[in-house]
Structure 1
């Protein structure tokens, strides 16, 4: 028995030694085993990513970015959820309030302060400054992603607005086309005179839609606040603590009166217009966003840039200024995987990620390097939008009370434009509403 046991133990030791040397002499076999063992023990990390559902091109671009990121980061899975724009904010805030927010979220930049002030966003300031190559991002863009000196969001694309005009109506009225030079915009007085000549009520043709009609959501604030800026007005003071003396200033009232007169005194703008008036030749001039170029090309292929319509820089008065801002990416303060979430954001908002996104969507890139390397942004008409973003753009007010500001602006322009109400009284009501919201934030 002892002899058998001794022989058995010796055999086991011999086999072990043989196996060790075989492994030593065949390192590839050993490495393969180690890789299998490591991959077996490595758990995949699932990150939830919420964003607003965009058009087909935007959705395709995000899908490609997620697919590439997952292929190069096999231990990270991005569970992307796209939500209809009109429902997005409500659903996101509900999830945050319930303590179950997504790891990564798209935030419309003017709403940044609301989420950062509530502690819902993780500061990515150090990551952006160390690895985000922020010198490649326009300062005005970066300012809109910053709250109390810290960066909370990373941008993919930017936005701007410009004057679109119907070339056929201009030719019929004998009016010279506006300059396409981004540094030589028309003044609002010049645009108004053009609108009066182009206006033909008998034919149902209106001279201009000065600020995208009267819509819902963030559109009214995005398109209408710039008119205040252009006339030298503002919404809030520099510290973002009061609207008094700014939204109701002489300059702001002048802008509001000019806006109202186009509707109620001269009739060159209309509260109600037929469907697609610009495309159908019932609207001579309109202010549209940078994204409209792709929309017009896709939805109205027979209405062609250069043949049927042209684009000019946004009109100015005392100031040449346009809005900027757009959807950017942030990390939830509740995420259990901040490093992995940053890895995803770093890739999507990098030169490579933005270039991939822009090639699909045609949107304005948020990085100098991408715009420089894509010829279309150095050529008409996209050079107009890109140069405006770089040199003449401004953020909507960065304040935790921004939803109140946005709603007050919407109501103000409706009262002035649709209702024809007294400009000064309407502005004073808007100031009171905004100040109440600001006080609630400052003194909860």
Structure 2
């Protein structure tokens, strides 16, 4: 995407956000009467719930169709009208619907968007519902934190994903490098990864030791793949309340993380700015950081590149601590719904143990709940156990802030400036802090 298109999309996102905030605040505190489901599920009047979500892949769409159908069969007093919207248009259309007063009763949101919708008053707080019958103790605290803004839970998580260290076993054996451990509680340090990468590196043959964080794609990939490196070195990005980067992004630990990341490219040259297509399964990378979803891709596209024989999986490296980004798409309820209790019945069933088991049995995703994950034997065995245990024990939310798009773009630019542009680290971080804090201040001034 060109710079002009990026800027245009960013401006549109901010403009729609401000419209949403103004419109919601104008009617704040008056969501209208709600219509609760009777405890026995029977009702003289049929409740109709509108449900919007981004159109997913074939498996996701099939799973949701079954979930909605099953819920309506069990709750004949409720009709759920599900609308699928293409991913590229979804958030803009959703924000526009909120601003115009026509928001769906139930909406799917990516974790990174929760704070902006909650700040705008567009979401119904779900904390009291979770405490009543949402079985909060069945969800990892770090996962709940991903959907919590100003001490209120606003979304119900359905599934998770995670990333890990993939390594080429044939290359390791040829160079006499020991394999990293497969125990999710015993990861290599980044220093150990660097040592192995140096031994595996062979630039004359276009073989590189490691792709540490999926190159330089976009701000979304930066958030999911690069933030953990900062955390692993003991650094932070923003304050816990998501209001400032000063004192966090410019900390010594954060600088050490980015300095190390840059050195992989510019000092040790074990990472490259560009690789051939599919560099890991085609033998151009000794190690890479990949997601749990990649297993299915490799199995389909590279059937001769076999897990256990040709490559293995190990937990994400650590330095000072272990950490991995969590958060995926989750379900929330509009603050303007007139059927809050019925909407919660739907959301709570979809994201409960039974709903998650049904969904993940079709999509092969990782359930967000402890109890649902236990229902899948493969998730409790290598290699999937690495993804599951990491997420449950070492998962961390990306900054929960209303200016997540602006913050994410600033940090994405920071990595590009330091690694690709080889600009001064301290100056680049100082510029990013100023930009993030300025964007937060401008958001406050425009929405007060």
On the 8 A contact 1:187/1:315 being kept in 2, the answer is yes
SS in 1 for 2:374: helix
Distance 2:242 2:390 in 1: 24
Residue number in structure 1 paired with 2:345 = 343
Which deviates further from its counterpart, 333-342 or 289-298?
289-298
Which deviates further from its counterpart, 71-80 or 424-433?
71-80
Distance 1:55 1:427 in 2: 38
Residue number in structure 2 paired with 1:165 = 167
On the 8 A contact 1:125/1:151 being kept in 2, the answer is yes
Residue number in structure 1 paired with 2:424 = 422
Residue number in structure 1 paired with 2:336 = 334
Distance 2:92 2:171 in 1: 43
Pick one of 47, 53, 56 that aligns with 1:54: 56
Residue number in structure 2 paired with 1:287 = 289
For structure 1, the residue ranges without an aligned partner over 5 or more in a row are 1-38
- Structure showing greater radius of gyration is 1
Distance 1:223 1:390 in 2: 17
Deviation sequence 1:168-204 (CA, Å, 0-9, x none): 2222222111100011100001101111111111111
Deviation sequence 1:198-253 (CA, Å, 0-9, x none): 11111111111101111125221111111111111101123332211211111111
For structure 2, the residue ranges without an aligned partner over 5 or more in a row are 1-41
Distance 1:317 1:169 in 2: 24
Cα separation, partners in 2 of 1:187 and 1:402, compared to 1, 3 Å: same
Pick one of 398, 401, 405 that aligns with 2:400: 398
Residue number in structure 2 paired with 1:307 = 309
Pick one of 379, 382, 385 that aligns with 1:377: 379
On the 8 A contact 1:322/1:393 being kept in 2, the answer is yes
| 1:353 shift after superposition | 0.3
On the 8 A contact 2:150/2:241 being kept in 1, the answer is no
TM-score in terms of structure 2 length:
0.87
Distance 1:56 1:263 in 2: 38
Distance 1:49 1:303 in 2: 41
SS in 2 for 1:373: coil
Distance 2:314 2:334 in 1: 40
Distance 1:210 1:340 in 2: 45
Question: What is the 5 A alignment of 1:57-96?
Answer: 57-96=59-98
| 1:75 shift after superposition | 3.1
On the 8 A contact 2:241/2:400 being kept in 1, the answer is no
Residue number in structure 2 paired with 1:137 = 139
| 1:314 shift after superposition | 0.3
On the 8 A contact 2:240/2:399 being kept in 1, the answer is no
On the 8 A contact 1:271/1:417 being kept in 2, the answer is no
| 1:418 shift after superposition | 2.2
Distance 2:202 2:55 in 1: 39
Pick one of 122, 125, 128 that aligns with 2:127: 125
On the 8 A contact 2:414/2:432 being kept in 1, the answer is yes
SS in 2 for 1:218: helix
Pick one of 83, 96, 104 that aligns with 1:102: 104
Distance 1:400 1:413 in 2: 22
On the 8 A contact 1:145/1:152 being kept in 2, the answer is yes
Distance 1:217 1:210 in 2: 16
Distance 1:318 1:58 in 2: 37
On the 8 A contact 1:294/1:362 being kept in 2, the answer is no
Which deviates further from its counterpart, 232-241 or 132-141?
232-241
SS in 2 for 1:186: coil
Residue number in structure 2 paired with 1:220 = 222
2:271 equivalent to 1:269 = yes
On the 8 A contact 1:225/1:409 being kept in 2, the answer is no
Pick one of 224, 237, 241 that aligns with 2:243: 241
| 1:42 shift after superposition | 4.7
Cα separation, partners in 2 of 1:86 and 1:207, compared to 1, 3 Å: farther
Distance 1:97 1:420 in 2: 42
Residue number in structure 2 paired with 1:36 = none
For these two proteins, the number of residue pairs brought into alignment is 405
Distance 1:63 1:117 in 2: 31
Aligned-pair RMSD on alpha carbons? 1.7
| 1:302 shift after superposition | 2.9
2:381 equivalent to 1:408 = no
Cα separation, partners in 2 of 1:425 and 1:193, compared to 1, 3 Å: same
| 1:373 shift after superposition | 2.6
2:183 equivalent to 1:181 = yes
| 1:60 shift after superposition | 1.8
SS in 2 for 1:311: strand
Distance 1:262 1:83 in 2: 40
Question: What is the 5 A alignment of 1:309-324?
Answer: 309-324=311-326
Distance 1:408 1:174 in 2: 41
